């Protein structure tokens, strides 16, 4: 049945294709009082007044904000177990890298993921996807990376595919092959490049490949070796500069990576270089909020013309949240963004990053992933802390049960 949303404040985000940068990052292309017609899974009409077929379902927005669904472009939402014990250690002053050295952190989740079945991993991910949808996320990227061996990495990717198959939104899987290290880095990274990458490429030929560059994890040199091999068939993404600036941004630009994610420890010179490139910068403010109160200089990056995206980094250790509205609120408070910039970075730009050009804005022909907020002013997304600002979710043209 066709669906008409009327009397809405519509954030269309209509404009040119490609990543929004500079002043365009602040342009929401608002229709103050408008209507949107959805037919099947697509947006059929947008304007101050549109013609709707007889019998269309009508939602009266009563002046509230209608906007594109959130695109969460960086998560680790497929995991098993919990990390409450290490969180309590952190509350008692133990640094995260010390927890990692002692076998905690990522390694504790690795053990739990190895013990879980594919069905169990898919079921827990599906539950989290349901929570994300209620909070307005209609497209989500989900990484592997808690396997650290070929068998378990493939199990994770299959679980992600299985969970995605019965979720109304869109899941984009990423193969995080360079997440942590078991044993000697040279030996381990050689196994990843020669064995794990080959097996993942065989079963998931179009998947992006990711790595985490940090002390006690993958070095710049090991990551580059993986990426030089992977880029023959895969797009690249990389975690860099979470705790230390190690020089990965320059290599990511050289290798034409799709994104560099984290950026909390990035120098201004590196941010200027990244902003001048085609590579996205992805900020993860819930991570700094939960770990060490350090945040990426996203306002500076945006002012330099960078392609900016914003994500939750949903994971059991450093960012236990699935809420994009919460990430928006943190980005405005601590990363120097304006509310409009955060909205574009949470919708249109991450869709471009993921190669999904059929969403992220409210335009005719695009996928009908829409959010009706409780609010009449979109700035409430950044102003409000806690709670759920989303009144109605329309995903792929349907209102999920």
pLDDT tens sequence across 30-67: 999 999 999 999 999 999 999 999 999 999 999 999 99
**Mean pLDDT to the nearest integer, 89-114:** 85
Vertex 343, ends 386 and 13: CA angle to 5°?
145
pLDDT at res. 206: 96
Which of 68-72, 90-94, 158-162 is the least confident region? 90-94
Q: Alpha carbon of 371 to those of 151, 299, 361, 401: distances in Å?
A: 39, 26, 11, 15
Structure tokens at 119: 């069905």
Taking only the tens place, the pLDDT of each residue in 19-31 is 999 999 999 999 9
**β-pairing verdict for 3-11 and 65-68:** parallel
Confidence of residue 177 (pLDDT cuts 50, 70, 90): very high
Confidence class for position 390, pLDDT limits 50, 70, 90: very high
Output the CA angle 27-67-4, nearest 5 degrees: 130
Span 82-94, mean pLDDT?
88
pLDDT band at 254 (very low <50, low <70, confident <90, very high): very high
Query: What tokens were used for 100?
Result: 């990692």
- pLDDT exceeds 90 at position 337: yes
Per-residue pLDDT band at 283 (split at 50, 70, 90): very high
Instruction: Indicate the average pLDDT of the chain.
Output: 96
Which bin fits 350, alpha (ψ -120 to 50), beta or left (φ > 0)?
A: alpha
The predicted structure's pLDDT at residue 14: 98
pLDDT for the residue numbered 71: 99
Rounded average pLDDT over 164-175: 98
The confidence score (pLDDT) of residue 241 equals 98
pTM attached to this predicted model: 0.97
User: Does the pLDDT value for residue 339 go beyond 90?
Assistant: yes
Q: With both helix axes pointing from N to C terminus, report the angle between 150-165 and 106-115 in degrees, rounded to the nearest 10.
A: 70
CA of 298: how far to CAs of 123, 175, 307, 400, in Å?
Answer: 35, 26, 10, 34
pLDDT band of 237, cuts 50, 70, 90: very high
Q: Which of 351, 350, 337 is closest to 379 using CA atoms?
A: 337
Residue 35, pLDDT score:
98
Task: Look at residue 100 and tell me whether its pLDDT is greater than 80.
Answer: no
| Residue ranges of E strands in 123-246 | 137-143, 170-178, 208-212, 236-240
Domains, the chain, ranges and CATH? 3-68+358-394 (2.30.40.10), 71-353 (3.20.20.140)
Alpha-carbon distances, residue 80 vs 73, 118, 319 (angstroms)? 21, 11, 15
| pLDDT higher than threshold 80 for residue 396 | yes
Q: What is the pLDDT of residue 106?
A: 83
Residue 97 has pLDDT above 80, yes or no: no
Q: Give the pLDDT band (50/70/90) at residue 155.
A: very high
pLDDT at 101 over 80: no
Give per-residue pLDDT as tens, 368-378: 999 999 999 99
pLDDT at 90: 82
pLDDT value, residue 49: 97
The answer to whether residue 13 scores a pLDDT higher than 80 is yes
Beta strands at 42-47 and 280-283: parallel, antiparallel or unpaired? unpaired
The per-residue pLDDT for range 293-316, each reduced to its tens digit, is 999 999 999 999 999 999 999 999
| Strands 370-373 and 65-68, bridge-based pairing | antiparallel
- pLDDT for 82 equals 92
What mean pLDDT do residues 71-80 have?
A: 98
Structure tokens at 18: 């490609």
């Amino acid at each position: 049945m066709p669906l008409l949303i009327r009397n809405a404040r519509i954030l269309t985000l209509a404009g040119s294709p490609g990543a929004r940068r500079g002043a365009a990052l602040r342009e929401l292309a608002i229709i103050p009082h408008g209507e949107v017609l959805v037919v099947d899974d697509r947006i059929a009409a947008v304007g101050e007044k549109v013609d709707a077929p007889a019998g269309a379902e009508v939602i009266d927005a009563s002046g509230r904000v209608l906007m594109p669904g959130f695109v969460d472009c960086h998560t680790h939402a497929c995991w098993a177990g919990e990390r409450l014990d290490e969180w309590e250690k952190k509350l008692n002053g133990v640094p995260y890298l010390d927890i990692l050295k002692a076998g905690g952190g990522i390694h504790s989740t690795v053990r739990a993921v190895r013990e879980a079945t594919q069905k169990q991993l898919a079921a827990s991910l599906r539950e989290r996807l349901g929570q994300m949808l209620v909070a307005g996320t209609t497209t989500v990227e989900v990484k592997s990376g808690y396997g650290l061996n070929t068998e378990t990495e493939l199990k994770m990717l299959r679980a992600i595919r299985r969970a995605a198959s019965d979720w109304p939104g869109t899941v984009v899987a990423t193969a995080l092959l360079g997440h942590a290290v078991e044993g000697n880095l040279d030996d381990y990274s050689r196994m990843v490049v020669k064995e794990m990458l080959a097996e993942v490429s065989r079963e998931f030929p179009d998947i992006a490949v990711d790595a985490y560059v940090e002390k006690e994890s993958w070095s710049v040199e090991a990551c580059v070796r993986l990426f030089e091999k992977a880029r023959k068939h895969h797009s690249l993404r990389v975690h860099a500069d979470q705790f230390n600036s190690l020089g990965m941004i320059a290599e990511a630009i050289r290798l034409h990576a799709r994104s560099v994610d984290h950026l909390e420890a990035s120098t201004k010179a590196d941010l200027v270089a990244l902003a001048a490139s085609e590579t996205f910068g992805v900020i993860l403010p819930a991570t700094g909020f939960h770990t060490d109160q350090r945040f990426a200089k996203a306002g500076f990056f945006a002012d330099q013309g960078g392609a900016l995206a914003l994500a939750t980094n949903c994971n059991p250790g450093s960012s236990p949240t699935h809420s994009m509205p919460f990430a928006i609120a943190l980005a405005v408070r601590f990363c120097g963004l304006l509310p409009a910039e955060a909205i574009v970075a949470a919708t249109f730009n991450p869709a471009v990053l993921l190669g999904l050009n059929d969403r992220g804005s409210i335009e005719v022909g695009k996928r009908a992933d829409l959010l009706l907020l409780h609010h009449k002013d979109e700035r409430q997304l950044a102003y409000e802390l806690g709670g759920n600002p989303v009144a109605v979710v329309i995903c792929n043209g349907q209102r999920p049960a």
